[in-house]
Structure 1
Amino acid sequence: MKKKILLLFALAMSIASAYGQEQNVTGTVTDAGAPLPGVTVIVKGTTQGTITDLDGNYSLSTSSDAVLQFSFIGYSAQEIAVGNQSTINVSMEQDAEQLEEVTVMGYTKQDQSSNVTSVEKVTDIVTPNVANSLQGKAAGVSMTAPSGQPGAKPTIRIRGVGSISSSQEPLYVIDGMIIDNTDIIGANQQSERDPMSLLNPEDIEDVKILTDAAATALYGARASNGVIVVTTKSGAEGKTQFSLNISGGEAVLYQGNYEPMRAKDFIEFQKYGDVDINGDAFTTDTDWINEAFRKGTVQNYQLTASGGNEKTKHYVSLGYYNQDGILKGSDFERYSARVNMDNKVNDRLSYSIKTDISYITQNDASDGALFSSPLMTTYMYPAIISPYAKSGDLKRSVDGNTYLNPFLTADESGYDNYYYSIGANFLSDINYNYRRTKSFNAGLQGNVKYEIGKGFAIKSNNSVRIQNTRYDNYTAPISYDGFNGPDAANGSVSNTSAFSSLITSTNLLTYSNSFGDHTVDAIGGVELQKYDASNQYGYGAGVPLTVDNLGSASSGFSNDGYQTQYRFFSFLSQVQYNYLGKYYVSGSYRRDGSSRFGKENQYGNFWSAGGSWIMSNEDFLSTSDLITNAKIRGSIGTTGNAGIGNYAAMGLYGYTFYNTSSAAVIEQVENPDLTWEQKLKANIGFDITFIDKVSLSVDFYNEQTSDLLMQVPTAGMTGFANVYQNVGEMRNRGVEFTINSTNIDKNGFLWTTNLNMSFNQNEVTKLYNGQRIEYSRQVIEEGKPLNAFFLQEWAGANPENGKPSWYLNREPTQDELDKNQVFKQHDGRYATSYYSKAEKVDVGDPYPDFSGGFTNNLSYKGFDFSFMFTFSVGNDIFNSGRRYMDQDQSAINGGNYYSQMKIAKDDRWTKKGDIASRPLIDQAGDDGWGNVNSSRYMEDGSYLQLRNVTLGYTLPKDVIGNIGLSNLRVYTSLQNLFTVSNYSGYSPTTIDNTGVAFFDYPDGQTYTFGVNCSF
Structure 2
Amino acid sequence: MNKLRYLLLVVWLAVCGQAHAQTQPVTGVVTSKNDKQGLPGANVIVKGTTTGTSTDVNGSYTITAGEGAVLQFSMIGMLTQEIPVGNQTQINVELADDAQALEEVVVVGYGTQRKRDLTGAVAQLKGEEIIKYPVQTPTQALQSKLAGVQVIASGRPNEQPQIRVRGVGSALAGVSPLYVVDGVLTDDIRNISNNDILSIEVLKDASAAIYGVRAANGVVIVTTRRGKSGATQVQYDANFSMRQPANLVKMASRQQYIDYLTDAAPNQNVSNPPLTSDQTTDWYGQALRNAPQMNHNLSISGGGERNTFFFSAGYFSDFGVINTNDFRRLTIRANNEVKINDKLTFSNQLSFSRGNERAVNLDGTYQSLYRAAPIVPAKIGDLYGNLSAYGNVSNPILSLEARNQRILNNRLQGNLALSYKPVEWLTLRSAFNTDLVFNRDQTYLRGFQNDANTFITAGGNQRQQNSQLTVGDTKSLRYIIDNTATLDRSFGESNLTFLLGAVTEQFTTDFLQGSRINIPNDPNQWYLGLGDPNQQLANNSTGDLQTRQSFVTRLTYSLKNRYLFNASLRADGSSKFSERWGYFPTVGVGWVISDEDFMKDQSLFDFLKFRGSWGILGNDNIESNAYITTATVNIPYFYNNGLALGSAIQDIKDQQLKWERTQQIDAGLEFAFFNNRLSGEIDYYNKTTRDALAFRVIPAIFGDPDNQFLTNIASFRNRGFEFVLNWKETLKSGLGYSIGGNLTINRNELVGLNGGQALLAGGVGQQGFVTRSDNGQPVGSFYVLNATGVYQNQSEIDGSPVYGNRANVRPGDLKYQDVDGNGVIDNNDRIYAGSYQPKMYYGINLGLTFKGFDLTADVYGNVGNKIYNGKKAFRFENTDNIEAAYADARWLPNRPSQTDPRLITSATPASTYFVESGSFVRLNNLTLGYTIPNGLKEKARLRTARIYVTSQNLFTIQQFSGFSPELAGGALDSGIELNSYPTTRTFAVGLNVGF
Fold match, TM over 0.5? yes
Aligned to 1:330: 325
Counterpart residue identity of residue 138, structure 1? L
Q: Verify the 8 A CA contact 2:791 2:811 in the aligned structure 1.
A: no
Q: Verify the 8 A CA contact 2:515 2:537 in the aligned structure 1.
A: yes
Give the aligned CA root-mean-square deviation in angstroms.
Answer: 4.1
Q: Deviations over 1:535-570 (max 9, x none)?
A: 011123344544543234333511112110100100
Moved more, 501-510 or 764-773: 764-773
Task: Provide the rounded CA distance (Å) in 2 between the counterparts of 1:919 and 1:77.
Answer: 69
Change in CA separation of 1:809 and 1:773 when aligned onto 2, cut-off 3 Å: farther
What is the SS of the residue equivalent to 1:625?
coil
Query: How big is the shift at 1:872?
Result: 0.3
Aligned to 2:592: 614
Aligned to 1:451: 421
What is the SS of the residue equivalent to 1:786?
coil
Q: Deviations over 1:155-206 (max 9, x none)?
A: 1100000111111110101112322x2xxxxxxxxxxxxx311111111010
1:216 corresponds to 2:208: yes
Task: Provide the rounded CA distance (Å) in 1 between the counterparts of 2:616 and 2:38.
Answer: 39
Change in CA separation of 1:310 and 1:368 when aligned onto 2, cut-off 3 Å: same
Counterpart residue identity of residue 694, structure 1? L
In structure 2, runs of 5+ residues without a counterpart are 1-24, 49-56, 638-642, 762-768
1:118 corresponds to 2:124: yes
Counterpart residue identity of residue 596, structure 1? K
Q: Verify the 8 A CA contact 2:73 2:80 in the aligned structure 1.
A: no
Q: How does 1:887-898 map to 2 (within 5 A)?
A: 891=879, 897-898=880-881
Change in CA separation of 1:270 and 1:752 when aligned onto 2, cut-off 3 Å: same
Q: Verify the 8 A CA contact 1:822 1:833 in the aligned structure 2.
A: no
Q: Deviations over 1:912-933 (max 9, x none)?
A: 9x452233348x7xxx733x32
Percent identity among equivalent residues? 24
Change in CA separation of 1:158 and 1:62 when aligned onto 2, cut-off 3 Å: farther
Change in CA separation of 1:268 and 1:299 when aligned onto 2, cut-off 3 Å: same
What is the SS of the residue equivalent to 1:960?
helix
Aligned to 1:735: 721
Aligned to 2:360: 365
Query: How big is the shift at 1:980?
Result: 0.1
Aligned to 2:861: 871
Change in CA separation of 1:806 and 1:443 when aligned onto 2, cut-off 3 Å: farther
1:228 corresponds to 2:228: no
Pick aligned residue for 1:88 from 89, 92, 102: 92
Q: Verify the 8 A CA contact 1:796 1:806 in the aligned structure 2.
A: no
Task: Provide the rounded CA distance (Å) in 2 between the counterparts of 1:131 and 1:802.
Answer: 57
In structure 1, runs of 5+ residues without a counterpart are 1-21, 47-56, 182-194, 397-404, 409-418, 892-896
Task: Provide the rounded CA distance (Å) in 1 between the counterparts of 2:799 and 2:600.
Answer: 66
Query: How big is the shift at 1:487?
Result: 9.5
Counterpart residue identity of residue 282, structure 1? S
Counterpart residue identity of residue 672, structure 2? T
Q: How does 1:394-409 map to 2 (within 5 A)?
A: 394-396=382-384, 406=386
Change in CA separation of 1:78 and 1:427 when aligned onto 2, cut-off 3 Å: same
Q: Deviations over 1:593-640 (max 9, x none)?
A: 000001xx1100110111011011112223433210000110101110
Aligned to 2:439: 469
1:132 corresponds to 2:140: yes
What is the SS of the residue equivalent to 1:265?
helix
Aligned to 1:988: 965
Q: Verify the 8 A CA contact 2:801 2:818 in the aligned structure 1.
A: no
Aligned to 2:793: 800
Aligned to 2:242: 250
1:387 corresponds to 2:378: yes
Task: Provide the rounded CA distance (Å) in 1 between the counterparts of 2:735 and 2:103.
Answer: 34
What is the SS of the residue equivalent to 2:755?
helix
What is the SS of the residue equivalent to 1:746?
coil
Change in CA separation of 1:831 and 1:686 when aligned onto 2, cut-off 3 Å: same
Q: How does 1:302-313 map to 2 (within 5 A)?
A: 302-313=297-308
Aligned to 1:688: 671
Aligned to 1:767: 753
Aligned to 1:586: 566
Aligned to 1:109: 112
TM-score normalised by length of structure 2:
0.84
1:638 corresponds to 2:624: no
Moved more, 842-851 or 736-745: 736-745
What is the SS of the residue equivalent to 2:594?
helix
1:143 corresponds to 2:151: yes
1:269 corresponds to 2:252: no
Q: Deviations over 1:205-235 (max 9, x none)?
A: 100111111x212111211001100000000
Q: Deviations over 1:107-140 (max 9, x none)?
A: 1224421211112411222222111111111001
Aligned to 1:18: none
Moved more, 709-718 or 339-348: 709-718
Task: Provide the rounded CA distance (Å) in 2 between the counterparts of 1:503 and 1:211.
Answer: 25
Aligned to 1:960: 937
Counterpart residue identity of residue 137, structure 2? N
Counterpart residue identity of residue 771, structure 1? Q
Change in CA separation of 1:640 and 1:559 when aligned onto 2, cut-off 3 Å: same
1:288 corresponds to 2:266: no
Q: Verify the 8 A CA contact 2:802 2:816 in the aligned structure 1.
A: no
Query: How big is the shift at 1:714?
Result: 5.0
Task: Provide the rounded CA distance (Å) in 1 between the counterparts of 2:558 and 2:958.
Answer: 49
What is the SS of the residue equivalent to 1:790?
strand
1:604 corresponds to 2:582: yes
Q: Deviations over 1:420-458 (max 9, x none)?
A: 255744444544421221010012311221112262221
Q: How does 1:272-671 map to 2 (within 5 A)?
A: 274=266, 282-369=277-364, 373=365, 375-389=366-380, 393-396=381-384, 406=386, 419-420=389-390, 422=392, 424-453=394-423, 455-478=425-448, 489-546=465-522, 548-554=526-532, 555=535, 557-598=537-578, 601-656=579-634, 658=636, 663-671=646-654
Q: Verify the 8 A CA contact 1:804 1:929 in the aligned structure 2.
A: no
Query: How big is the shift at 1:89?
Result: 2.8
Task: Provide the rounded CA distance (Å) in 2 between the counterparts of 1:344 and 1:539.
Answer: 53
Change in CA separation of 1:24 and 1:696 when aligned onto 2, cut-off 3 Å: farther
Task: Provide the rounded CA distance (Å) in 2 between the counterparts of 1:802 and 1:545.
Answer: 63
Task: Provide the rounded CA distance (Å) in 1 between the counterparts of 2:701 and 2:939.
Answer: 85
Task: Provide the rounded CA distance (Å) in 1 between the counterparts of 2:434 and 2:571.
Answer: 23
Q: Verify the 8 A CA contact 1:478 1:545 in the aligned structure 2.
A: no
Q: Deviations over 1:965-1003 (max 9, x none)?
A: 221111111111000001111221244461111032112
Change in CA separation of 1:552 and 1:816 when aligned onto 2, cut-off 3 Å: closer
What is the SS of the residue equivalent to 1:768?
coil
What is the SS of the residue equivalent to 1:725?
strand
Q: Verify the 8 A CA contact 2:373 2:392 in the aligned structure 1.
A: no
Aligned to 1:13: none
Change in CA separation of 1:379 and 1:480 when aligned onto 2, cut-off 3 Å: farther
**Number of residue pairs the alignment of both structures matches:** 917
Task: Provide the rounded CA distance (Å) in 2 between the counterparts of 1:233 and 1:290.
Answer: 42
Aligned to 1:945: 922
Q: How does 1:24-103 map to 2 (within 5 A)?
A: 26-27=29-30, 59=59, 68=72, 78=82, 87-89=91-93, 102-103=105-106
Task: Provide the rounded CA distance (Å) in 2 between the counterparts of 1:255 and 1:804.
Answer: 38
Q: Verify the 8 A CA contact 1:537 1:559 in the aligned structure 2.
A: yes
Pick aligned residue for 2:709 from 708, 720, 723: 723
What is the SS of the residue equivalent to 1:961?
helix
What is the SS of the residue equivalent to 2:624?
coil
Q: Verify the 8 A CA contact 2:552 2:569 in the aligned structure 1.
A: yes
Query: How big is the shift at 1:269?
Result: 3.3
Task: Provide the rounded CA distance (Å) in 2 between the counterparts of 1:76 and 1:661.
Answer: 80
Change in CA separation of 1:487 and 1:220 when aligned onto 2, cut-off 3 Å: farther
Counterpart residue identity of residue 624, structure 1? Q
Query: How big is the shift at 1:696?
Result: 1.9
Q: Verify the 8 A CA contact 1:261 1:382 in the aligned structure 2.
A: no
What is the SS of the residue equivalent to 1:366?
coil
Counterpart residue identity of residue 739, structure 1? L
Q: Verify the 8 A CA contact 1:807 1:831 in the aligned structure 2.
A: no
